[in-house]
Amino acid sequence: MSSASSPGNRLHRGAPRTELIRRVGPHAVSPQRRVVNELLVGYDDFIRASHEAEVAGYLIQIAEDDVLSVDLFDVTRHEVVVARGSEAANTVLGALGEVLLVARFFTPVPTRLVLLPALPSPDLVDLLHELDVTIVWPSGPRMFTRSR
């Protein structure tokens, strides 16, 4: 089981965001958030079917009034997933920063995944790989591919 890597109880396990998405549905969300929600639900379904993954969500207490939310964590493979609705450079760089920050709070450090709607530019792929981050994207109906 994962635990906080720093003193105090800063890591709180809960349900993955996909459970809330399924209950609420696509209503009243922006088009960008809808893409992210569809990616998360699709990937959640894929990993549960492909390797019977146990999935969770986490809240990480960064400071007294600052909390990070981990939408999806594959407990079975010890992988943290950060999803974004675009493979544009600024969006991917934001996801990179988030996944690097979030992963620091787990012991051992989990495999870091960035879930995108498509593979980004080769330069961004190289950068993420240099920082030991894997890119995941849909490659067909109910199928996902990893960059490595």
The tokens of 49 are what? 């079917």
Q: CATH number, domain at 106? A: 3.40.1350
Total number of domains in the chain: 1
How much is the pLDDT for 3?
Answer: 41
- 61 within domain boundaries: yes
Provide the residue range defining the domain that includes 24. Answer: 11-146
- 5 within domain boundaries: no
- Could you tell me what percent of the chain has a pLDDT over 70? 87
Q: For the sheet with 143-146, list strands across it.
A: 11-14, 55-63, 66-74, 79-83, 111-115, 133-140, 143-146
Q: Using one digit for the tens of pLDDT, what is the confidence trace for 104-141?
A: 999 999 999 999 999 999 999 999 999 999 999 999 99
